[in-house]
């Protein structure tokens, strides 16, 4: 296939979308543990323009290497085409959204027009009815489930086959959605964090070699990347462009302003624009890293011989105004991670310090540290003057002053110190302990506790119940509570901080 330089304002030429899917499920893998963090799941949604120039009636994502049919819950369905179907093809599994067809009237119930209007957040969502019907774009997404190693993803609009009314066929070339992959970079030394690294391939690969023709580069694209992280897992339905509580979109969250991606000709050494690689240090409290990837047309000049992008600045790091075309897609991807680390918390009415034998933790001042998976850490609790050490909680137990614990995943240890108080004439001392629960909220709703009290004696079981306001769906807990059930029960052994997340 010969490539010609696009003229300003023309549509981006696309061939096929090839990328390693970033939805790897590595829980339980010792190889993953050795990296000091586990990537145990990922989800991705994207806003995509209908750039086919035709009225379409569905969308399909082909997952090469997937071996398990995806259940409805693994795909985004809050759009005009509803719950998708999933089926096996030779070498993979497809996820297909499509409109019902009325044979009597020979018409489809739903359609997506060609995209012609400027982008704005939320344009592609059915909860914006004033603009949604004629938006010319849609929102799709899937999560990785089951077995199999996904090697490639191809996403295409479905339009009516002119020769077979009522039949939908995938439209080529496929859409330009750069699908990232992730891996963990181990820490370089004890006490330093590992990194979760994202690799973004070019959304348009290079064409296959043609004899007697100079090898060609693929069409170029601009991308911009925004990033944030949360102390909880992220689910598929949260990854929408009008949800700033989860999806990064503020200027302060820009990870890279502009990067050019362009596939190298087959068989040639890898060039500097063949992928975008971004690393981010993991905090022990981080449970998900969320990125928003915008893909824009490159409408600048190309080399007439090999189709290499010839940017005005010579480096393709600062595009000129006439080199950036239309916004093609907005990809929102979250990778759920679990770092191997140890966190020490102190509670009670007294004071004291907890130190590790390797001197990495001195709590005191440093109460959290990454560790290589499986590292055995010995902790020693020392009460301050006027206090007594009352015992361990979490991964340690008992009242001995030392405890050894293996750092597998995010490991938490609590140490309770109580103030010494006089005991009514017996000459001895006693200690009394009560604990509190502090609750913060994101969004609109209420949280109640049962029993309800300002503080609780050690060992008391307290149930928290979240009730969202109308129109504010429940997302899930953070802090000392976790998961998406509307109730959470805590056994009081320390002071707890809980976050309730309402949409």
Each residue of 137-169: pLDDT tens digit? Answer: 999 888 765 544 566 778 899 999 999 999 999
pLDDT digits (tens, 9 = 90+) for 350-390: 889 999 998 889 998 888 888 877 788 999 999 988 888 98
SS3 state of residue 72: helix
Taking the C-alpha atoms of residue 243 and residue 259, their distance in angstroms, rounded to an integer, is 25
Instruction: Please report the beta strands in 36-144, taking only residues with DSSP state E, as ranges in sequence order.
Output: 37-49, 58-64, 85-89, 92-98, 101-102, 107-108, 137-143
Taking the C-alpha atoms of residue 282 and residue 227, their distance in angstroms, rounded to an integer, is 13
SS3 state of residue 245: coil
pLDDT digits (tens, 9 = 90+) for 403-421: 999 887 778 899 999 887 6
pLDDT reading at 487 higher than 90: yes
pLDDT reading at 5 higher than 50: no
Model's pTM, two decimal places? 0.66
pLDDT reading at 293 higher than 70: yes
> What is the Cα 225 distance to its own chain's centre?
13
């Amino acid at each position: 296939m010969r490539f010609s330089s696009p003229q300003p304002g023309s549509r981006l030429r696309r061939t096929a979308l090839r990328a390693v899917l970033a939805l790897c499920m590595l829980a339980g893998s010792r190889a993953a543990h050795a990296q000091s963090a586990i990537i145990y799941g990922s989800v991705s949604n994207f806003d995509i323009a209908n750039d086919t120039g035709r009225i379409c009636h569905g969308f399909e994502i082909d997952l090469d290497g997937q071996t398990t049919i995806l259940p409805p819950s693994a795909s985004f369905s809050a759009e005009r085409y509803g719950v998708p179907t999933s089926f096996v093809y030779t070498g993979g599994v497809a996820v297909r959204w499509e409109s019902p067809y009325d044979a009597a009237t020979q018409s489809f119930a739903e359609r997506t027009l060609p995209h012609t209007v400027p982008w704005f957040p939320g344009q592609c969502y059915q909860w914006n009815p004033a603009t949604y019907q004629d938006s010319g774009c849609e929102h799709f997404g899937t999560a990785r489930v089951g077995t199999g190693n996904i090697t490639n993803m191809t996403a295409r609009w479905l339009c009516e086959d002119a020769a077979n009314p009522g039949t939908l066929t995938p439209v080529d070339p496929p859409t330009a959605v750069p699908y990232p992959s992730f891996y963990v970079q181990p820490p370089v030394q004890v006490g330093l964090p590992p990194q979760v690294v994202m690799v973004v391939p070019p959304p348009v690969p290079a064409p296959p070699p043609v004899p007697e023709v100079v090898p060609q580069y693929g069409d170029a694209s601009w991308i911009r990347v925004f990033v944030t992280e949360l102390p909880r897992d992220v689910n598929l339905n949260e990854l929408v462009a009008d949800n700033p509580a989860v999806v990064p979109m503020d200027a302060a969250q820009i990870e890279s302003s502009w990067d050019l991606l362009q596939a190298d000709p087959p068989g040639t050494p890898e060039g500097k624009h063949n992928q975008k690689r971004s690393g981010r240090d993991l905090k022990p409290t981080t449970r998900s890293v969320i990125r928003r990837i915008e893909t824009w047309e490159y409408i600048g000049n190309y080399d007439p011989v090999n189709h290499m992008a010839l940017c005005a600045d010579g480096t393709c790091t600062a595009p000129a105004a006439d080199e950036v075309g239309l916004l093609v897609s907005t990809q929102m991807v979250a990778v759920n991670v679990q770092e191997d680390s140890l966190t020490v918390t102190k509670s009670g009415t007294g004071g004291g310090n907890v130190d590790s034998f390797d001197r990495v933790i001195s709590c005191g001042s440093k109460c959290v540290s990454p560790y290589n998976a499986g590292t055995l850490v010995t902790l020693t609790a020392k009460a301050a003057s006027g206090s007594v050490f009352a015992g361990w909680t979490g991964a340690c137990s008992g009242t001995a002053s030392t405890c050894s614990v293996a750092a597998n995943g995010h490991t938490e240890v609590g140490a309770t110190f109580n103030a010494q108080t006089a005991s009514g004439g017996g000459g001895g001392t006693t200690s009394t302990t009560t604990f509190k629960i502090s609750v913060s909220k994101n969004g609109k709703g209420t949280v109640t506790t049962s029993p309800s009290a300002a503080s609780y004696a050690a060992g008391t079981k307290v149930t928290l119940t979240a009730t969202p306001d109308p129109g504010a769906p429940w997302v899930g807990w953070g802090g000392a509570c976790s998961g998406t059930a509307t109730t959470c029960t805590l056994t009081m052994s320390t002071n707890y901080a809980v976050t309730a997340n309402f949409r």
